[in-house]
Amino acid sequence: MPGNMLSKGEVFVIETDATSREQLSTALQQSAYDVICFADSASLLSEAKARMPACVVLEMPPDRSALDVLKRLREENCMAPVLVTSANGSIAMAVDAIKKGAADFIEKPFRTHDVVGRIDAAIDEFAQPGASRQSWLPGCEPLTAREVGVLEHLAGGLTNKEIARRMHLSARTVEGYRASILKKAGAKNVTDLLRRIFVQSSSTQA
């Protein structure tokens, strides 16, 4: 990190590919982050008990053990935003990651500076007061602030790719949030979801 820049915080990284790890570390340091790379999840979890990072970037191995790491971080009250990366990403995997609390799901190969931008966005959102939960439909599990943002764009008729660009997320992550929103509402599809919201809004205004 350049010596004349104040640190924006520590980013914990698990990345097995040496080239990706070096490129990501360099880009984060150039963006004024301190980077700590870990060889395994046990060492990351141990360090997270001592101090909370600004963000965590977890590589998803084939056995999906990164989801267990994410769960452990939350159990240890480490609430920093977590970005999950995967070379074999699928919609199902993205949905699982989002359900477990990931802020973003990024497919490889990725452009390093795109990842840095998503880390910035995740940290900014985390820092906003009251951003953790927002109510929406009575009787339904509340949405996270990120889900509310996705929902607003869905209501505006945007596609997953358009929402991803607007919110600095991956299309897979948007698909994950979209699936989570539909499940919380008990809706079959986006049309059904928006109909329920419109009916609720109309009854509230009446």
In this structure, the answer to whether residues 33 and 64 fall within a common structural domain is yes
Contacts of residue 190, defined as CB under 8 A and 6 or more positions apart, other chains included, come to 154, 178, 182
Where in the sequence is the domain holding 56, given as residue range(s)? Answer: 1-127
Average pLDDT over residues 109-138: 76
Q: Are 184 and 143 in contact (CB under 8 A)?
A: yes
pTM attached to this predicted model = 0.67
In this structure, the answer to whether residues 100 and 149 fall within a common structural domain is no
Q: What is the pLDDT of residues 43-73, one digit of tens each?
A: 999 999 888 899 999 998 888 888 899 889 8
Supply the CATH number for residue 5's domain.
3.40.50.2300
In this structure, the answer to whether residues 18 and 102 fall within a common structural domain is yes
Q: Which two tokens stand for residue 151?
A: 């929902």
Domain count, the chain: 2
> What are phi and psi for residue 57, nearest 5 degrees?
-115, 115
In this structure, the answer to whether residues 123 and 137 fall within a common structural domain is no
Q: What is the pLDDT of residues 79-103, one digit of tens each?
A: 889 999 988 877 788 888 888 888 8
* CA dihedral for 45, 122, 30, 3, sign (positive or negative): negative
In this structure, the answer to whether residues 98 and 18 fall within a common structural domain is yes
In this structure, the answer to whether residues 84 and 107 fall within a common structural domain is yes
